[in-house]
Amino acid sequence: MSGEKILIVEDERAVARGLEYGLTAEGFSVLWARTGNEALALTRNEAPHLIVLDIRLPDISGFDVCRTLRSEGKRQPILMLTARDEEVDKILGLELGADDYLVKPYSLRELVSRIRALLRRTYGDLAMPTADARRLAFGAVEVDLERMLVTRRGQITELTPIEFRLLRHLVSQPARPASREQLIEAIWGYDSDLGNDRTVDVHMRHLRQKLEDDPSDPRWLVTVRGVGYKFEP
Ligand code: CA
């Protein structure tokens, strides 16, 4: 896997240049946006595989960029860069649709390893099972694993990339419980700061709200006491 298009959104020229140099040397093809609005335009026009998004930008914030892209149905993995602890809390608010984050200062090596992990998780495991295993239905929900499309009562249900990966992992092993640790590994890999028991529970709650008829008494995405969760077909 190489040559993926990475969009760097960073207003500081020197930082952006350094990233561009480092990522190009790793075999990526790099786009650069200096502002949030440029980032939105480049994402719409160039469809990068992944976005490295600084939070502090001169026009709109990285948070706004992230939220806008997700509301437009853009599903590229987004890795947020932050300089401040209080921004981490906001990223962890989880409503933004960011897939991972790094706190400055970070090393290029760490950034590259996060990028590779996100790309692998997003695109690598799409080459999934056999044709008939790529679509499934439960209750009023239909899941098309290949097109990353979920509908409920015929209406498209917007899932964040993380919610989608969580769902995909659970439905790919029906009736088999997955521990929170296994889910963290499947969704973020071990090296992410985002994956912990609490974040798994929060994403699970969101997923139930979107897919279950009665989210407080789930029929399909059930809790396995003392273990974690499972998909009950
Ligand atoms: Ca900045």
Q: Distance from the CA of 156 to the center of ligand 1, in angstroms?
A: 35
pTM over 0.75: no
The parent domain of residue 32 ranges over 5-126
HSE, CB side, 13 Å, CA atoms: give it for residue 101. Answer: 27
On whether both 134 and 120 belong to a single domain, the answer is no
| Residues 176-230: tens digit of each pLDDT | 899 988 888 888 776 666 667 788 899 999 999 999 999 999 999 999 998 899 9
Verify that 74 and 57 share a domain, yes or no: yes
- Judging by beta carbons within 10 Å of its beta carbon (0-12, 13-18, 19+), is residue 216 exposed, middle or buried? exposed
Domain shared by 225 and 150, yes or no: yes
The helix (run of H) or strand (run of E) holding residue 5 is: strand 5-9
How many domains is the chain partitioned into structurally?
2
The predicted-structure confidence for 26-67, as pLDDT tens digits, reads as follows: 889 999 999 999 999 999 999 999 999 999 999 999 999 999
The verdict on 30 and 87 lying in the same domain is yes
Question: If you measure from the C-alpha of residue 11 to the centroid of ligand 1, how many angstroms do you get, rounded to a whole number?
Answer: 5
149, 211: one domain: yes
Task: Please state, in angstroms and rounded to a whole number, the distance separating the CA atoms of residues 178 and 205.
Answer: 16
Q: State the distance from the centre of ligand 1 to the C-alpha of 54, rounded, in angstroms.
A: 6
How far is the CA of 12 from the CAs of 16, 17, 19, 54, 126, in angstroms? 6, 9, 11, 10, 35
The alpha carbon of 10 and the centre of ligand 1 are apart by a number of angstroms equal to 5
Same domain, 47 and 117: yes
Q: What is the CATH number of the domain that holds 177?
A: 1.10.10.10
